[in-house]
Amino acid sequence: MHCKQIAEQDVLERYLLDQLAEQERDEFERHYFECESCFAQLQTALAVQEEVRHQRPSVSKTRGNFLRGTWVWTPALVTALLLFVVGTWWYSGRRRQNSAPVALQQPATNPAPSISPSSPSLEQLASVEPPPYLATTLRAVQDQAHEQFRIAMQNYSKGDYANAIPGIRAALKVDPKALSFNFYLAACYLLTGQTDPAITFFRKTIALGDPTYSEQSHFYLAKAYLKKQDVAGAEDELEATISFHGGKETEAGEILRQLRK
């Protein structure tokens, strides 16, 4: 799959609407992990979905309609489309700028990092503790997706995140909108150093519109951006984390304070 084919066949839009066949979805995911342009467009689209839900709480009552293709042409959605077009251009430029090491963004005459020597380094601030997972039995007979996820999370609980990934991906193919599947797949990618796919699936978790994993997703997104030395992106996600006033508020606030010293 290549960029021209993606544009001509509306692959990105159909991916967001969960309308791709399994083979197409796999080919697109392999492509955007290697293509900076398509990756930036996907991140922008997911960010726009999240922003629309934030601005219009009533949209959350019909959560999932956006992905299933039930469109209502309201001014808010028209605005969202305009945001997507402009945002794609803006976000792509911003990601290219922010993807460079922080030291390179400083003036040549002042190469010192923004964090003082006495403060934790970016590498230290980006360190990640695995999100906790508590195995639960939802029903006597598990469906195929949840059984695959349960088995994969046995590896996760042992700290074997790399071997948990295939099982979670298999579960996600059966149920692409499952919050826990998306969140823990993102966590596994982050914990194995695969930052870009981690960002994608944390964004997707947030875009699904259910607040269950939203705070944690924003927090670990901040960690992913710190690993990429994208301080601006990390600060945005830390601020979003704090806005939930949940269990990650104090830790996010301290990291933000260190970054802004």
pTM value?
0.62
Size (the chain), residues: 261
Per residue, the 3-state secondary structure of 124-162, as one string, reads: HHCCCCCCCCCCCCCCCCCCHHHHHHHHHHHHHHCCCHH
Contact 138, 156 (CB under 8 A): no
Q: What architecture does CATH give domain 129-259?
A: Alpha Horseshoe (1.25)
What is the pLDDT at residue 88?
52
pLDDT in tens, 182-195: 999 999 999 999 99
CA distance 66 to 15: 12
* Per-residue pLDDT at 41: 79
- The domain locations on the chain are 3-99, 129-259
User: Judging by beta carbons within 10 Å of its beta carbon (0-12, 13-18, 19+), is residue 249 exposed, middle or buried?
Assistant: middle
pLDDT digits (tens, 9 = 90+) for 192-250: 999 999 999 999 999 999 999 999 999 999 999 999 999 999 999 999 999 999 999 99
Q: In terms of Cα–Cα distance, which of 28, 2, 5 is closest to 176?
A: 28
Task: Tell me the pLDDT tens digit for each residue of 85-128.
Answer: 445 544 455 444 444 443 434 444 444 444 444 678 999 999 99
* 150 burial type by CB count under 10 A (0-12 exposed, 13-18 middle, 19+ buried): middle
